Amino acid sequence: MPMLQKFILFVAGVAAAWFAVGAQADGNGLLNVSYDVARDFYKDYNPLFQKHWQATAGQKVEIRQSHAGSSKQVRAVADGLDADVVTMNQASDVDFLAEKGLVARDYARRFPNNASPYTSTMVLIVRKGNPKALKDWNDLIKPGVQVILPHPKNTGNGRYSYLAAWGYALRQPGGNERSAQEFVGRLLKNAPLFAAGGRDATTTFMQRRIGDVLLSFESEAELIAREFGKGEFEIVYPSLSILTEFPVAIVDKVVDKKGTRKLAQAYLDYLWSPAGQENAAENYLRPRDAALLKKYASQFPPIRTFTVDEVFGGWSKAFPTHFKDGGTFDQLYQLK
Amino acid sequence: MRGRAHPQPCHRLTDAMFAPLSRRRRVLPGFGLTLGCTLVYLSLLILLPLSGLAVKASQLSFAELWEVASGERAWASYRITFGAAFLAATINACFGLIVAWVLVRYPFPGRRAIDALVDLPFALPTAVAGITLATLYAGNGWIGRHLEPLGVKIAFTPLGIVVALTFISLPFVVRTLQPVIEDIEPEVEEAAASLGASRWQTFLRVLLPGIFPALLTGFTLAFSRAIGEYGSVIFIAGNMPLISEITPLLIISKLEQYDVVGATALAMVMLSISFVMLLAVNALQWWAANRHRPGAAGSGR
């Protein structure tokens, strides 16, 4: 029995320690709820802001980060996660919070540049030497080319890839909705699988050596280089691609309750400061600041892009048309 | 034997439910306290979330529910999910039985290590399992490399789903069987042999009847665990609509559209099918236990 008593004491001790640590972490500060791959960006950005806030307001501020799949994150915020700010990779996610009344409906106009402090674009990543000579989107629908991309309906990167190809086809001479859908359908026929997420697609392409081309964010390419070596692949910039925006917003309901509005506003404003913009460039995200973009020109070659607003009338239209049940993606997979 | 003592407590419970509690004094103490504990615990952990699910799903009319649950993609996903889970549970029932038998019956060096290995699928985060299996079975992986020349593709096909589900559900069969096999004394086999039974007869007629109820339980546990599995499968399945899309993926897909009601509807359908299947297996088990009892007891004691 003493054995059992010792065990119970041990368990109780562990539990007490656990709660003690948990209570300590729950201090006052800012909670930034963000998407998955923004981890590196905010790991660098938060110390910059803390230094800035210390210098201007004379206060020490604690910033907590939460990262996961963006729609999961947004649902958590809607269910009561106390996020002061949300920093997402797709407007449809912030739109959902606006619908729920947590975020202002005109959140996109509360900050410059559609509330997106930096952008990226979808590029084609091919094997070293580009053995299949893939230059543009229309090379991807050729027979015998294998395309790797994350699930077009269930993942953010997948949706951007899908819309990029759609927009390209639409902008070709004589292009219309029907030809675009046919184009995307042929492209998806060349996909041997739909990866579970962006990183999984990368692993499948780089490590398992499946496929001839990987559709990915430009910002991810550098990460691939760090992981697998620069000589292993080449980045191909298509003639036209989609501009991916990363909207940020203050969660009004939470900051009003916690009294952190001023801090939250400053935190997001600072993303547009020279230091914040430079941090974006260093994380391979295209800064909005034109001068900085020029400074990092070798990293960001010019590319013709269109936005979701321009071609699809915004995410609030693009999402239901293409990715809801029965949308254009589902139509491609109906048995005739 | 442990496996066969089941029906009795059940009778006791039903007696207790119909007879006023205060009138009968039990020999074993603590019945009221532990039963109260059990009910509260189960309500909090299982009944409450499940009824939440039911309430959410009831926002749909039956026609709407049917529409969500009966689409082409949904049917294809049920076929794949339940089919792969059934295959995986069957494979584990065969090989899990062998593993459990070896671990219990034969002392050999490293037995404890192997015994501990069996639990690893419990401990490993399922996503890690999925990624590792996908890498192993991909065309250039350690295993896939040797299978691809033979024309067998596993990763990113429905077969990959079976592999992932087999991996995660193995411990259920082994851990259910071990105590039951431990209870069978080797003398039973010796007696059967000395009475002239062949090895095969000993296995089929003497050993299997005693093991069978536990084997079914293990099979059922493995099967139900496999049906709900998501984390490992999405990394190895390939997730192609109509080919390798599992039902949990469709549920996630609904959640991505913020269609919580649709997601719960699909979940309810899955739950109902699972429930009916579990009920059927339980009935089978009950039948098997009763059928084999006289014979097994005769040869065992």
Say whether both A103 and A126 belong to one domain. Answer: no
Mean predicted lDDT score pLDDT of chain A: 91
Q: Is A197 strand, coil or helix?
A: coil
Minimal C-alpha gap between B126 and chain A (Å): 13
Scanning every residue of chain B, which has its alpha carbon at the shortest distance from the alpha carbon of A100?
A: B258
Q: Do B238 and A75 touch (CB under 8 A)?
A: no
* Residue pairs between chains A and B whose CB atoms are closer than 8 Å: 69
In chain A, residues with a C-beta closer than 8 Å to the C-beta of B239 are 151, 193-196
CA distances from B79 to A88, A169, B200, B275 (A): 36, 35, 35, 16
Query: What confidence category does residue B194 fall into, taking pLDDT thresholds of 50, 70 and 90?
Result: very high
Minimal C-alpha gap between A283 and chain B (Å): 26
Minimal C-alpha gap between A301 and chain B (Å): 33
What's the whole-model pTM score? 0.84
Q: Do A330 and B252 touch (CB under 8 A)?
A: no
Query: What confidence category does residue A230 fall into, taking pLDDT thresholds of 50, 70 and 90?
Result: confident
What average pLDDT does the segment A53-72 reach?
90
Q: Do A193 and B238 touch (CB under 8 A)?
A: yes
Q: Is the dihedral of CA A92, A331, B262, B155 positive or negative?
A: negative
DSSP class of A103:
S
Scanning every residue of chain A, which has its alpha carbon at the shortest distance from the alpha carbon of B259?
A: A324
Give the residue from B235, B221, B230, B234 showing the smallest Cα distance to B266: B230
CB-nearest partner of A208 from B135, B234, B254: B135
Q: Is residue A86 part of a domain?
A: yes
- Residues of B near A (Cβ–Cβ under 8 Å) read 71-73, 130-131, 134-135, 138-141, 155-156, 234-235, 238-242, 244, 249, 252-259, 262
Q: Is pLDDT larger for residue A109 or for residue B59? A: A109
Residues in chain B: 301
Q: Is residue A18 part of a domain?
A: no
Say whether both A201 and A84 belong to one domain. Answer: no
Q: Do B156 and A196 touch (CB under 8 A)?
A: no
What average pLDDT does the segment A262-269 reach?
95
The pLDDT value recorded for residue B9 is 47
Over 80: is that where the pLDDT of B11 sits? Answer: no
3-state secondary structure chain B: CHHHCCHHHHHHHHHHHHCCCCCCCCCCCCHHHHHHHHHHHHHHHHHHHHHHHHHHHCCCCHHHHHHHHCCHHHHHHHHHHHHHHHHHHHHHHHHHHHHHHHHHHCCCCCHHHHHHHCCHHHHCCHHHHHHHHHHHHCCCCCCHHHHHHHCCCCCCCHHHHHHHHHHHHHHHHHHHHHHHHHHCCHHHHHHHHHCCCCHHHHHHHHHHHHHHHHHHHHHHHHHHHHHHCCCCHHHHHCCCCCCCCCHHHHHHHHHHCCCHHHHHHHHHHHHHHHHHHHHHHHHHHHHHHHHHHHHHHHHHC
CB-nearest partner of B234 from A192, A196, A210: A196
3-state secondary structure B102-123: HHHHCCCCCHHHHHHHCCHHHH
Nearest-angstrom CA–CA distance, A51 and B237:
46
CB-nearest partner of B139 from A154, A210, A333: A210
Q: Do B238 and A204 touch (CB under 8 A)?
A: no
Element (H, E) at A214: strand A213-217
Q: Is residue A4 part of a domain?
A: no
| Contact (CB, 8 A) for A266 and A53 | yes
CB-nearest partner of A208 from B138, B256, B259: B138
Number of domains in chain A: 2
Q: Is residue A80 part of a domain?
A: yes
CB-nearest partner of A153 from B140, B238, B253: B253
Residue-range definition of the domain harbouring residue A32: 28-117+246-295
Q: Do B131 and A203 touch (CB under 8 A)?
A: yes
Say whether both A178 and A251 belong to one domain. Answer: no
Element (H, E) at A202: helix A198-206
The pLDDT value recorded for residue A176 is 94
Q: Do B155 and A208 touch (CB under 8 A)?
A: yes
Query: What confidence category does residue B72 fall into, taking pLDDT thresholds of 50, 70 and 90?
Result: confident
CATH 1.10.3720.10: which residues of chain B? 70-300
Which structure tokens are listed for A62? 């604690």
Is the CATH number 3.40.50.1820 carried by domain B70-300? no
Q: Is residue A231 part of a domain?
A: yes
What average pLDDT does the segment B55-72 reach?
86
In chain A, residues with a C-beta closer than 8 Å to the C-beta of B164 are none
The pLDDT value recorded for residue B24 is 60
Nearest-angstrom CA–CA distance, B86 and B82:
6
Nearest-angstrom CA–CA distance, B255 and A74:
11
The pLDDT value recorded for residue A327 is 93
The pLDDT value recorded for residue B6 is 46
Q: Is A213 strand, coil or helix?
A: strand
Say whether both A231 and A185 belong to one domain. Answer: yes
Which structure tokens are listed for A318? 């693009």
Say whether both A208 and A283 belong to one domain. Answer: no
Q: Do A323 and B257 touch (CB under 8 A)?
A: yes
Buried b (16+ CB within 10 A) or exposed e, A146-173: ebbbbbbbbbbbbbbbbbbbbbbbbeee
In chain B, residues with a C-beta closer than 8 Å to the C-beta of A151 are 239
Nearest-angstrom CA–CA distance, B46 and B212:
28
Buried b (16+ CB within 10 A) or exposed e, A238-267: bebbbbbbbbbbbbbbbbeebebeebbbbb
Q: Do A208 and B139 touch (CB under 8 A)?
A: yes
- One-letter amino acid at A41 equals F
Nearest-angstrom CA–CA distance, B109 and B129:
27
| Contact (CB, 8 A) for A277 and A118 | yes
Q: Is residue A238 part of a domain?
A: yes
Over 50: is that where the pLDDT of A154 sits? Answer: yes
Q: What is the CATH number of the domain that holds A52?
A: 3.40.190.10
The pLDDT value recorded for residue A37 is 81
In chain A, residues with a C-beta closer than 8 Å to the C-beta of B249 are 154
Say whether both A250 and A268 belong to one domain. Answer: yes
Q: Which of B251, B256, B259, B264 to mutate to test the interface with A (most CBs of A within 10 A)?
A: B256
Lowest mean pLDDT among B50-64, B110-124, B175-189: B50-64
Q: Flag whether the ipTM exceeds 0.85.
A: no
Q: Which of A208, A332, A334 to mutate to test the interface with B (most CBs of B within 10 A)?
A: A208
Over 50: is that where the pLDDT of B165 sits? Answer: yes
In chain B, residues with a C-beta closer than 8 Å to the C-beta of A75 are 255, 258
CB-nearest partner of B242 from A191, A193, A333: A333
